[in-house]
Structure 1
Amino acid sequence: MTESFSNAARETQYEDAEDAQASIRALSPWATAVIGLLLGGQVSLFSLALLSIWSVMDKIIGPAAVEKQTETWSPFGLGHWHITPDVGLLIIVMICSGLGSFVHAATSFASYVGNRRMYASWIWWYLLRTGIGMALALLVYLLLRGGLFAGEMDGRAANPYGFAGIAGLCGLFSKQATDKLREVFDTILSTRGDGDSKRFDKLGETSGHDRFQSSNPGESP
């Protein structure tokens, strides 16, 4: 009986310590509001930019387009860009990947804020998520255009809807895509030795102090 009471007391103390640590690491309300506003501004910016560039692309690669035609694009009045079909596709890919990254980041943000588990240590994850998705989508696009479709089509013959959809999925599932690519290249480019064993302070190494603070660390957003 005494042992059960002592175990219950230790569990209560451990839960209180975890709650105290969580309150310290929790993101402040104003910082949470700033991230939410940034996400809202991001989707508005990308949506308007997509509508703007798509109307230009219709003139370049549409049914009435003239070969080697270029159009002038003025995004939000910030200068005048001369857009070719290839450049327009690159812009569409980057914008759509940004929209996909927004869906991922906004869904995670809403879930963690709703569960009161939004911690300050994840701020950079949300700030860099869009850039990671855009970079990954751009690399996939270059791989498809330079590898699978090399010599078969130019910018005017490419289907912007297909590449826009692929870019959006790259942004939405950038984490899964990078994990899978890592598995593939670890298999293809396997080495005899383990170079990581000679590198110290890796992310997977957890000190005893960190293990005491949290025996069940939070998952990635």
Structure 2
Amino acid sequence: MTQRGKFIVLEGIDGAGTTTQSAMLARNLKDLGYKVVTTQEPTLGPVGLLLRAILRGRVVGKGKPFDQKAVALLFAADRLDHIASEITPFLDSGFFVVSDRYVLSSLAYQSLYAELGWVKEVNRFAINPDLTIFLDVPVGVALKRIASSRPDKDIYEDKETLTRVYEAYRNALSSYPYGEWVTVDGTKPVEEVALAVLQQVKERVIS
């Protein structure tokens, strides 16, 4: 019987390096001999692609921005599809699943516009990761990274909003109901952060 895989999530505000560190963790785990697949939220499924367009401001609702509670529900729907179509099948096949963002992102971003308890409720069917790693990066550093990496921003990528998101992350983590989590300093050089992330996985998931 195939041993169930492990589910690891990288989280942080925009510009924290979740995409980079997800890829590096996957590479490092493969080097250790594990079967690994990477994934992300929003996904590349139909609901996820709609969300990506909304975040870029390319899709609006009746001439104005989408209602943020509706966006929260779309994220929850995308997540359920993600779990059913990718995460659970790979875990059942013995893979490490490394996800660039998951439910903690909803607790942080969507709680800016709705009560945190409501956001938790609409995500109540989300499965728990084996470990959530929060990459802690100050807003100023994150904004500089965003400015240097791409010309266009999404609807959350301004100083005021990202500051609120950072505070919302800390608040959500104080009562995080989705398994074990740990903070890693995301301001250090990329390779150093990657080693710290891998060490946390070794200590908390593999050992």
**TM-score scaled by length of structure 2:** 0.29
Q: Which has the higher helix share?
A: 1
Larger radius of gyration: 1
**TM-score scaled by length of structure 1:** 0.28
Q: Which has the higher strand share?
A: 2
